[in-house]
Amino acid sequence: MSTTQPSRTPAPSTASTAPRPAVPGTLQATMLVAEREVVTQLRSKSFLISAAVLLLGVLAAIVLGSVLSGRETDPTRVAVVPEVASMVAESEGLEGVPASDDAAARALVENEEVEAAVIPDSSAGVLGIRVLALDSVPEDVLAALSATPEVELLGDEAPGFGLRFLVSLAFGLVFMMTAMTFGGTIAQNTVQEKQSRIVEILLSSVSARALLAGKILGNSVLAFAQTAALAAVSVAGLMVIGQDEMLGTLGSPLVWFALFFVVGFVLLAAIFAASASLVSRIEDTGPVLTPVMMMTMAPYFLVIFFNDNDTVLRIASFFPVSAPVAMPVRLFLGEAAWWEPLVALGILGVTTVAVIAVGAKIYERSLLRLGGRVKLTEALREA
């Protein structure tokens, strides 16, 4: 005799009823990735140590440079007879060694007790003196004895060659080192995530565009913070050595440099990320990153070798890659009209938007292609 077993209704599965985690939106995902980039760097001891060494190095360079440049040199010893003693005493950098007559002054030179001797000579022209030396012309003595007329400048005083070169070096070096450091970090992280296949897990939660935007945003914040810290340390160093006048001259160019730096770094960061997405191994990054490295170094060498060439600097100040360095240098030198930085910044901004659009497509299409190197033409064609 068969019995009918009562049917049991299966218990509801907790897995099917549990609410699924909400997928973050593009903005939220971008901020999460940016936060991850910043926190990862700030937890790195090597990053913190290198940043501290860089800041201390800049401060030490400013202070030591001022100390060394202000160190007084020993005056040049010059034999003088009584008739010209007052003339030598009024010349800076010369120390008069008394001699009774011309013969005694000549003897001091021949015995190498003095570098030169100054004796009266009525036939020697307007000054009425003659300089005696042993085996070479004493240029420092002649320069000290030369009469220099007073000069009146009708316009603003232009920076000397040394200051012009120093400011060009500072702007170029800060931009190059910061862009290469944080741009290289973006490239390295991108390749490591592909090589370890972590990118597949990341892309299951966030989109490729959000991942790219977060990397650029996070490293841009770090790069700008480091640059701001360098500027603050430089200002403190200049105040310590009493260069308040230079601070007033550098004020406006520093503000413009900060604006150009932010946009210019985003441009290079997009290129670094897109280039790195083409390869899947650290060993293969050389060929794809070399052109980007050269592009990053170009503004530095340009302002160093052509900082006294107005035509080259004017062209470079409107070219997107070199504008972040060349335009602030021209503003410091007073060679740029008020509208020029606005136009240059507009050109840089438009170029950056276009590069980000193309770079995002390359990044999105190449990120999941593992194995061999993806050719740029293939990535662009697919994009």
- Would you give per-residue pLDDT tens digits along the chain (383 residues)? 445 555 555 555 544 455 555 556 788 889 999 999 999 989 988 888 988 888 888 888 777 766 665 555 677 888 888 887 777 777 777 878 888 888 888 888 888 888 888 888 766 655 677 888 887 777 777 777 766 556 555 555 556 666 778 888 888 888 999 999 999 999 999 999 888 888 888 888 888 889 999 999 999 999 999 988 888 888 887 787 776 666 777 778 888 999 999 999 999 999 999 999 999 888 888 888 999 999 999 998 988 888 888 899 999 999 999 999 999 999 988 888 999 999 999 999 999 999 999 988 899 888 888 777 888 777 777 54
Residue-number span of the structural domain to which 46 is assigned: 29-62+159-382
Q: Quick check: is 102 in a domain?
A: yes
Residues 306 and 176 both lie in one domain: yes
pTM: 0.74
Total length of the chain: 383
For 287-349, the DSSP string reads HHHHHHHHHHHHHHHHHHHSTT-HHHHHHHTTSTTTHHHHHHHHHHHT-S-TTHHHHHHHHHH
Residues 186 and 303 both lie in one domain: yes
Angle at 43 between CA 364 and CA 368, to 5 degrees: 15
- Which tens digit of pLDDT belongs to each residue from 192-214? 988 888 888 888 888 888 999 99
Residues 114 and 230 both lie in one domain: no
pLDDT score recorded for residue 132: 82
Calpha distance 292→226 (Å, rounded): 21
Calpha distance 337→240 (Å, rounded): 32
Helix/strand number for the chain, H first, E second: 15, 4
Residues 309 and 272 both lie in one domain: yes
Please say whether the beta carbons of 276 and 289 come within 8 A.
yes
Beta-sheet pairing, 76-80 with 129-133: unpaired
193, exposed or middle or buried, with CB in 10 Å at 0-12, 13-18, 19+?
A: buried
Into how many domains does the chain fold?
Answer: 2
Q: Quick check: is 72 in a domain?
A: no
Q: Quick check: is 312 in a domain?
A: yes
Q: Quick check: is 1 in a domain?
A: no
Q: Quick check: is 236 in a domain?
A: yes
Residues 112 and 245 both lie in one domain: no
Calpha distance 124→131 (Å, rounded): 10
Neighbouring residues of 337: CB distance < 8 A, sequence distance ≥ 6: none
Q: Quick check: is 241 in a domain?
A: yes
Residues 264 and 316 both lie in one domain: yes
pLDDT score recorded for residue 71: 54
Q: Quick check: is 36 in a domain?
A: yes
Please say whether the beta carbons of 118 and 77 come within 8 A.
no
What does the block give as tokens for 193? 């995530």
Please say whether the beta carbons of 79 and 117 come within 8 A.
yes
pLDDT score recorded for residue 21: 56
Please say whether the beta carbons of 224 and 265 come within 8 A.
yes
Q: Which of 329, 324, 296, 291 is nearest to 310 (CA)?
A: 329
Residues 39 and 116 both lie in one domain: no
Beta-sheet pairing, 129-133 with 116-120: antiparallel
Residues 168 and 208 both lie in one domain: yes
pLDDT score recorded for residue 126: 58
Residues 57 and 168 both lie in one domain: yes
Calpha distance 382→357 (Å, rounded): 14
For residues 66-89, b (16+ Cβ closer than 10 Å) or e, as one string?
Answer: beeeeeeeeebbbbbbeebeebbe
Q: Quick check: is 329 in a domain?
A: yes
pLDDT score recorded for residue 175: 92
27, exposed or middle or buried, with CB in 10 Å at 0-12, 13-18, 19+?
A: exposed
- Which tens digit of pLDDT belongs to each residue from 5-51? 555 555 555 444 555 555 567 888 899 999 999 999 899 888 889 88
Residues 301 and 226 both lie in one domain: yes
Residues 292 and 317 both lie in one domain: yes
Please say whether the beta carbons of 324 and 352 come within 8 A.
no
Cβ atoms within 10 Å, residue 216: 28
Residues 35 and 104 both lie in one domain: no
